[in-house]
Amino acid sequence: MSDTVLSVCEVTVVRQGRSLIEAVSVDVRPGEQWALLGPNGAGKSTLLALCGARLHPTKGTVAVLGHRLGRVDMRWLRTHIGHVDPRTRIEPYLSVREAVLTGLLAAADLPKRWSPTAAESCRADELIEALGLAARASSLWSVLSQGERGRALIARALITEPRLLLLDEPTTGLDLAAREILLGILADVRSLRPELSSVLVTHHLEELPASTTHAVVLAGGRTVAAGPVAEALTSETVSQAFGHPIRIERRNGRWSATGAEPARV
């Protein structure tokens, strides 16, 4: 089996006669943490759906965890991929601990006659502790803050011990403090699981954790840049993708973006 966790090779996705992405290629290896950026309509959601084994390409090939899409049971493959999405439905009467355990079943609720194994229970408790939710383990989902829900969803995604973690705009709806806490936790996940690969989708560079190692920048369904983060995330590539002059800076491992004055002739 290749050491590539995710391989997207010259992939095109066509729907209703329109290319959502075209000739996109990305290779993610163990331990790499990728950012996926671009404006609305760039193709980020389409590419993430391919990475998560939720969509087949029209052209090209996609291999996830060594399994090529079209030659593997997609439902089975999805159980080996961690997915963090703030829009995930969790039943409001579940406790934090129960919500984390739903990740074992990829469901919004726990079946009435189902119970976790001792090892699964232990794993849930360890993740809840690691993500700073031990004091809230028995609290109902309905009373959690957005920040607490975000941390619980990360624990939920990690409980199956996936090799690939997908994060779909995980800081959506968070205030500044909650966003910074969550980004700090995402950076800590790398020390907890150094071999874990991840792909994080966002519109905003400020929402990237300092642990980001690589990036792919999309615009109009095509790749503007892809590779090590220092090479892919530049003022030039981001300005090209968003069609507006933008200045990118990085301080203390974090990025910021501001409008740049166009060059005067």
Domain ranges for the chain, please list them.
Answer: 1-80+163-227, 88-161
Instruction: End-to-end CA distance of the chain: give it in Å, rounded.
Output: 55
- Show pLDDT as tens, one digit a residue, over the chain (265 residues): 458 999 999 999 999 999 999 999 999 999 999 999 999 999 999 999 999 999 999 999 999 999 999 999 988 898 889 999 999 999 999 999 999 999 998 888 999 889 999 999 999 999 999 999 999 999 999 999 999 999 999 999 999 999 999 999 998 888 899 888 888 888 888 888 889 999 999 988 998 988 899 999 999 999 999 999 999 999 999 999 999 999 999 998 899 988 876 555 4
Q: Alpha helix (H) ranges present in the chain?
A: 44-51, 74-78, 96-101, 118-130, 146-158, 176-192, 229-232, 235-242
The whole-number pLDDT of residue 261 equals 66
* pLDDT computed for residue 263 by the predictor: 53
Residue among 147, 25, 184, 159 nearest 80 (CA):
159
The predicted pLDDT at position 265 comes to 47
User: What is this structure's pTM?
Assistant: 0.90
CATH architecture of 1-80+163-227: 3-Layer(aba) Sandwich (3.40)
Q: Give the per-residue pLDDT at 1.
A: 42
Residues contacting 28, CB < 8 A, separation 6+: 4, 5, 6, 7, 34, 164, 197, 199, 214
Provide the edge-to-edge strand list for the sheet that holds 33-37: 81-84, 164-168, 197-202, 33-37, 214-219, 222-228
